[in-house]
A and B are shown apart, each in its own frame.
Chain A
Amino acid sequence: MYFRIIRNDILKSKAITLTTMIFVAAASMLVSLAAILVVNLSGALDTLMTQAKTPHFMQMHSGDIDTARLKSFAEQNNNVEEYQVVEFLGMDGTQIILGDHSLSDSVQDNGFSIQNEKFDYLLDLNGNIINVSDGELYVPITYMRDNTVSVGDKAVINGKEFTVSGFLRDSTMNSSLSASKRFLVSNKDFAEIKELGSIEYLIEFKLKDFSAIGEFETAYASAGLEANGPTVTYTLFKTMNAISDGMLIAVILLVCALVVAIAFMSIRFTLLAKIEDDYREIGVMKAIGLRLSDIKKIYLAKYAGIAAAGSIFGFIFSLMFQGMLLENIRLYMGESENSSVALVLGIIGILLVFLAIVTYVNFVLKRFQKISAAEAIRFGTSQEKIAGAKRFTLIRNRLFSTNIFLGIKDVLARKRLYATMLVVLVISAFIMIVPQNLYNTISSKSFIQYMGIGNYDLRIQTNISDKTNEIVKTIDSDSAVSKYTVLTTKTFKVKTSNGSEENIKVELGDHAAFPIEYSEGRAPARDDEIALSVINAGEMSKKVGDYLTLVIEGKEKYLTVTGIYSDVTNGGKTAKAVFTDNSANVMWTIICVELSDKSLIDSRVSGYSDKFDFAKTSDIDEYVSQTLGSTINSVEMASYTAVAFALVITVLVTLLFMKMLVAKDRYSIAVMKALGFTNSDIKAQYVSRSVFVLIVGIILGTLLANTLGEVLAGALISSFGASKFNFTVNPFNAYLLSPLMMIFTVLIATMIGTSSAGKIKISENIKE
Chain B
Amino acid sequence: MKKIIIGDHIVKAFGEGDEQRNVLDGVSVEINEGEFVSVMGSSGSGKSTLMFALSGMDGFDGGKVVFDSRDLSAVGENELSDIRRTKMGFVFQQPTMLKNLNILDNIILPSMRGNRKNVVKISEKARALMKRVGIAELEKRDIIQVSGGQLQRAGICRALMNSPKIIFGDEPTGSLNSKSAQEIMDIFSEINADGTSVMLVTHDAKVAARTERIMFMRDGKIVSELKLPKFDGMDMDGRLEKVTVKMLEIGI
Contact = CB atoms under 8 A, between A and B. Distances in A.
A and B are partners in one complex rather than unrelated chains: yes
Interface of A: 375, 378-379, 381, 383, 386, 390, 393-395, 397-398, 401-403, 406, 409-410, 413-414, 667-668, 671-681, 761-763, 766-768
Contact of A675 (B85, B116, B144): B85
A674 B91 CA distance: 10
B2 interface: no
A353 to B, nearest CB: 36
B90 A768 contact: no
Interface of B: 48-49, 52, 57-58, 77-78, 81-86, 88, 90, 92-94, 96-102, 104-105, 108-110, 112-114, 116, 119, 123, 142-144, 158, 170-171, 174, 201
Interface centre among A383, A395, A409, A410 (most CB of B within 10 A): A395
Given A386-B100, A394-B108, A762-B52, A673 B116 contact: no
A4 B46 CA distance: 34
Given A379-B144, A680-B78, A768-B174, 12 more contacts: A378-B144, A394-B109, A395-B105, A401-B116, A667-B96, A673-B81, A676-B83, A761-B58, A762-B52, A762-B58, A763-B58, A767-B48
Contacts of B92: 766, 768
Given A395-B119, A762-B57, A675 B84 contact: yes
B113 A409 contact: no
Contacts of A410: 100
A757 to B, nearest CB: 13
Contacts of A414: 100
A681 B78 CA distance: 10
Nearest to B123: A395
Contacts of B174: 768
Interface centre among A378, A398, A678, A761 (most CB of B within 10 A): A678
Nearest to B119: A395
B61 to A, nearest CB: 14
6 contacts: A394-B109, A401-B114, A402-B112, A409-B100, A671-B97, A674-B96
Contacts of A761: 58
Contacts of A398: 116, 119
Nearest 10 interchain pairs by C-beta: A676-B85, A394-B105, A676-B84, A768-B170, A413-B100, A763-B58, A678-B81, A675-B110, A671-B96, A763-B52
Contacts of A406: 98, 100
A393 B57 contact: no
A676 B101 contact: no
Contacts of A667: 96
A762 B104 CA distance: 23
Contacts of B94: 766, 768
Given A677-B113, A678-B77, A395 B99 contact: no
A681 B97 CA distance: 17
Contact of B102 (A393, A397, A673, A676): A393
B108 A395 contact: yes
Nearest to A409: B100
Contacts of A409: 100-101
B142 A386 contact: yes
A677 B58 contact: no
A677 B104 contact: no
Nearest to B85: A676
Contact of A768 (B101, B108, B158, B171): B171
A395 B171 CA distance: 30
A375 B142 CA distance: 14
Nearest to B161: A675
B48 A668 contact: no
B122 to A, nearest CB: 8
Contacts of A679: 77-78
A455 to B, nearest CB: 59
A492 B93 CA distance: 94
B201 A395 contact: no
A762 B123 CA distance: 27
Contact of A402 (B96, B104, B116): B116
B77 A766 contact: no
Nearest to B53: A763
Contacts of A680: 78
Contacts of A386: 99-100, 142, 144
A383 B141 CA distance: 12
A409 B129 CA distance: 25
A760 to B, nearest CB: 12
B113 to A, nearest CB: 5
Given A386-B100, A762-B57, A678 B78 contact: yes
Nearest to B89: A675
A653 B142 CA distance: 31
B112 A394 contact: yes
B107 to A, nearest CB: 10
A680 B98 CA distance: 18
Nearest to A381: B99
A681 B144 contact: no
B82 A676 contact: yes
Contacts of B82: 676, 678
A393 B201 CA distance: 33
A262 B122 CA distance: 44
A402 B111 CA distance: 10
